[in-house]
Structure 1
């Protein structure tokens, strides 16, 4: 399943609202965000599996 950028920003945000687009752009510039698919019309999509894998990679065991 492909997610729109807006869907991803909402999912990554918190109670205060979606993740700021500027934060997303910073992550992409630094190469620290999830993989993206850029469509010919310039829109961004993120595969659900890629987003989940990226989030799994951020998971840390609090006891370590």
Structure 2
């Protein structure tokens, strides 16, 4: 049985990381935010797997 991917909206992502939406959008403008998927309605989602990989990469750089 395949596992269904979990996608986080911006508010949930910011809450988990303890950052403001403004910070998230600044990171996105700089190209340093986790990889996002843009839905047809313009909303952004971040796949849990992509967030986990992004956090692992942040650890290595620290």
User: TM-score normalized by structure 1?
Assistant: 0.82
Task: Kindly indicate whether structure 1 or structure 2 has the higher relative contact order, using CA contacts under 8 Å at least 6 residues apart.
Answer: 2
Deviating runs (4+, > 3 A) in structure 1? none
Query: Which structure 2 residue ranges, 5 or more long, are not aligned?
Result: 1-5
User: TM-score normalized by structure 2?
Assistant: 0.85
- The total of aligned residue pairs comes to 57
Query: Which has the larger share of helix?
Result: 2
Query: Which structure 1 residue ranges, 5 or more long, are not aligned?
Result: 14-18
What is the root-mean-square deviation of aligned Cα atoms in Å? 1.6
